[in-house]
């Protein structure tokens, strides 16, 4: 079983940067895609970015394209989300998640394993 633990959230000002990390442990042999999702109060969970673990192919939500970068370190079994030019609309709980092969990588329901989340708050 894969376990995911996020870190790196915090309170920042608009325009600042943060880097989130997701430490991955356990049996990862069937992990195909890793993603970052976020959920703001009163809103549905939405995909931020995802990466195919083997090929490194990435995709981003339009709202973060050009500001956020998803990456992974296979040797360290760690997923990252570099967030630049943060704005108050980025305020949310951020979750990393993993899924096996199949299904849409943008659909939260396709992900089998989730971390506990880390809070990002951006003040104006």
Tokens of 19: 């880097």
Instruction: Report pLDDT for 27.
Output: 75
- pLDDT value at residue 32: 87
- What pLDDT shows up at residue 30? 66
pLDDT tens per residue across all 124 residues of the chain:
789 999 999 999 999 999 999 999 887 766 789 999 999 999 999 999 999 988 899 999 999 999 999 999 988 999 999 999 999 999 999 999 999 887 899 999 999 999 999 999 999 9
> Per residue in 16-33, is it b (16+ CB within 10 Å) or e — as a string?
eebebbbebeeebeebeb
Cβ 1 vs Cβ 27: under 8 Å: yes
């Amino acid at each position: 079983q894969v376990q995911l633990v996020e870190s790196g959230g915090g309170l920042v000002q608009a325009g600042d940067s943060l880097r989130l990390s997701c430490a991955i442990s356990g049996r990862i042999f069937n992990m195909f895609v890793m993603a970052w999702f976020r959920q703001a109060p009163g809103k549905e969970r939405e995909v931020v970015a995802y990466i195919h673990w083997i090929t490194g192919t990435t995709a981003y939500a339009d709202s973060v394209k050009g500001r956020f970068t998803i990456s992974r370190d296979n040797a360290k079994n760690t997923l990252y989300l570099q967030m630049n030019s943060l704005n108050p609309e980025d305020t949310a709980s951020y979750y990393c998640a993993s899924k096996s092969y199949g299904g849409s990588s943008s659909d939260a329901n396709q992900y089998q394993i989730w971390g506990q989340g880390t809070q990002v708050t951006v003040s104006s």
